[in-house]
Chains A and B, each alone.
Chain A
């Protein structure tokens, strides 16, 4: 029974809060059952490799192109800012640190959500809507083990690699603009970068970030698909939610991780 007036608003508020926590609970239960089934994938790693192909390899093009352009823009903007202070020799440092610490993991995760996360959600949601998951259950095949776990693991493993490729190609983009077009000294570009980028503090922290993003992005994508209302409208809503929630989660998590990693000791 819907109540009218202010009491009704409270009722709606309460209902949506309950709904939120219920989903959060279902999401965690699914995550635990996926994690519990990961060891079973070891003898059947072929299933994961297949998914790494569709989640990771097929995302390569968008990662390469975006990485190149982001690096080129960084080269341009960095150069125009630094040249006022006569510090354009530090362009390599600026480009590399920005990419490795922040833009590589974050932008790769956002692109991953749009390219691979949405596809995962739509695929799993449609498998649910067309009774494929139910059919597997009736064939005594656990759909979480056979379908969800390999996709989750593939996403988790792919994103750090994609982020690394994004950063590497971005540094090349910065090089093309800064060195080839704007005339920054080539030796300075690379040596300044080598001197100021620390393997543990910068690169490994960036990898940790992208591992965290890969975990969250794959979790959200797989859960939204599995939890989708099994109709065309439900699947389309779930796909949208995957992109929106992953983007928000990645950006929020990025702030927390940055504060923890790069704060003053």
Chain B
């Protein structure tokens, strides 16, 4: 798809702070339609916060977040809810409703937002579950699911209303190699088969690079690198190299800031707070 077409999500000069901690300090991101865009960065760089800003659960301090032409922070609750019906979000934990079984979890958005007869809901739910390979698991309770299965059920639920975009929050964290492979394949295939736009927030470099069309690297509230996976491999930034190659030391130091080690040992028994 040509990059000239207006991006689905366009973030400009985004500023956001939590208390005194600056999370975003002038971030520009474009998420192009039909593509898988990855947002990567170390833990604590506000990747999840970014998804919440796109979904309108948080408001930026400054800057604009436009989704499909709508300025998200300015939407009224009703308009925001209408927009969210066109977005799916996959939470890190899956966020399945624990009082419902697998079938009812996938049926939940359909029952809440449509007046479809129960027979049609059943067909739709089975189709979505079939797409993630869990049609046979429809009767299980959420407690009976493994972590990978829970994420796949959550994915089936996220596509239940045929959204235009899916936001994935750390989809690969804590998965065994097999379910990781399944998720990687599912994200790419669903994106292409359903004509979705996907945003993956992750720090799993290998898996994410394998399926992403476009990657943004975030650090300290700024975009430090941007490009396709191929471009990033040759990116001229120490930091990007350390992150992508998983080097233990580099621009991001191994040590948390601390006083001189020898002085610290000699400081005696004043406890851990002596120098603070």
B and A form one assembly? yes
- Number of chain B interface residues as a range: 20 to 34
- Set A127, A135, A140: member contacting B81, Cβ < 8 A: A140
Tell me if B242 counts as interface (CB < 8 A to partner A): no
Tell me if B55 counts as interface (CB < 8 A to partner A): yes
Measured between C-beta atoms, what is the minimum distance from B101 to chain A in Å?
15
A139 to B82, CA, bound (A): 10
Interface residues of B in 145-159 (CB under 8 A from A): 154, 157
Task: Check A132/B98 contact, CB under 8 A, given A139-B108, A140-B84.
Answer: yes
Contacts of A135 in B (CB 8 A): 89, 91, 95-97, 154
Check if A130 sits within 8 Å of B84, measured CB to CB: no
Contacts of A131 in B (CB 8 A): 91-93, 95
Contacts of A130 in B (CB 8 A): 93, 95, 98
Task: Check A139/B98 contact, CB under 8 A, given A131-B93, A134-B57, A134-B91.
Answer: no
Tell me if A201 counts as interface (CB < 8 A to partner B): no
- Select from chain A the residue with minimum beta-carbon distance to B91: A131
A134 to B57, CA, bound (A): 8
Contacts of A126 in B (CB 8 A): 98
Tell me if B260 counts as interface (CB < 8 A to partner A): no
Check if A146 sits within 8 Å of B96, measured CB to CB: no
Check if B91 sits within 8 Å of A140, measured CB to CB: no
Measured between C-beta atoms, what is the minimum distance from B252 to chain A in Å?
27
Contacts of B88 in A (CB 8 A): 138
Determine chain B's interface SS by DSSP, over half rule.
mixed
Tell me if A17 counts as interface (CB < 8 A to partner B): no
- Select from chain B the residue with minimum beta-carbon distance to A131: B95
Interface residues of B in 79-111 (CB under 8 A from A): 81-82, 84-85, 87-89, 91-93, 95-98, 108-109
Contacts of A146 in B (CB 8 A): 112
Check if A140 sits within 8 Å of B57, measured CB to CB: no
Interface residues of A in 98-118 (CB under 8 A from B): none
Interface centre among A126, A137, A138 (most CB of B within 10 A): A138
Tell me if A24 counts as interface (CB < 8 A to partner B): no
A244 to B57, CA, bound (A): 32
Contacts of B98 in A (CB 8 A): 126-127, 130, 132
- Select from chain A the residue with minimum beta-carbon distance to B109: A139
Tell me if B113 counts as interface (CB < 8 A to partner A): yes
Contacts of A138 in B (CB 8 A): 55, 57, 84, 87-89, 91
A82 to B224, CA, bound (A): 85
Count A-B pairs with CB separation below 8 Å.
53
- Select from chain A the residue with minimum beta-carbon distance to B97: A132
A140 to B89, CA, bound (A): 11
A126 to B55, CA, bound (A): 22
- Select from chain B the residue with minimum beta-carbon distance to A147: B97
A127 to B113, CA, bound (A): 21
Tell me if A141 counts as interface (CB < 8 A to partner B): yes
A140 to B97, CA, bound (A): 15
A146 to B93, CA, bound (A): 21
Measured between C-beta atoms, what is the minimum distance from A50 to chain B in Å?
9
Check if B91 sits within 8 Å of A139, measured CB to CB: no
- Select from chain A the residue with minimum beta-carbon distance to B95: A135
- Select from chain A the residue with minimum beta-carbon distance to B80: A140
A141 to B85, CA, bound (A): 9
- Select from chain B the residue with minimum beta-carbon distance to A137: B57
Measured between C-beta atoms, what is the minimum distance from B3 to chain A in Å?
28
Measured between C-beta atoms, what is the minimum distance from B165 to chain A in Å?
12
Task: Check A132/B82 contact, CB under 8 A, given A139-B108, A141-B109.
Answer: no
A83 to B169, CA, bound (A): 73
A137 to B52, CA, bound (A): 11
Measured between C-beta atoms, what is the minimum distance from A151 to chain B in Å?
12
Check if A132 sits within 8 Å of B85, measured CB to CB: no
Check if B95 sits within 8 Å of A134, measured CB to CB: yes
Check if A132 sits within 8 Å of B96, measured CB to CB: yes
A132 to B98, CA, bound (A): 8
Interface centre among A127, A131, A137, A140 (most CB of B within 10 A): A140
Interface residues of A in 137-155 (CB under 8 A from B): 137-142, 146
- Select from chain A the residue with minimum beta-carbon distance to B81: A140
Check if A132 sits within 8 Å of B95, measured CB to CB: yes
Chain A residues within 8 Å of B, Cβ to Cβ:
126-127, 130-132, 134-142, 146
Q: Kindly list the 8 A-B residue pairs having the minimum CB-CB distance in the complex, ordered from nearest.
A: A135-B95, A140-B84, A131-B95, A140-B81, A138-B89, A140-B85, A131-B91, A139-B109
Q: A135-B89, A140-B81 are in contact. List 9 more A-B contacts (CB 8 A).
A: A131-B93, A132-B98, A135-B91, A136-B97, A138-B55, A138-B91, A139-B85, A141-B108, A141-B113
A and B contact pairs by CB, cutoff 8 A, 15 listed: A130-B93, A130-B98, A132-B96, A132-B97, A134-B57, A137-B84, A138-B88, A139-B85, A139-B112, A139-B157, A140-B112, A140-B113, A141-B109, A142-B81, A146-B112
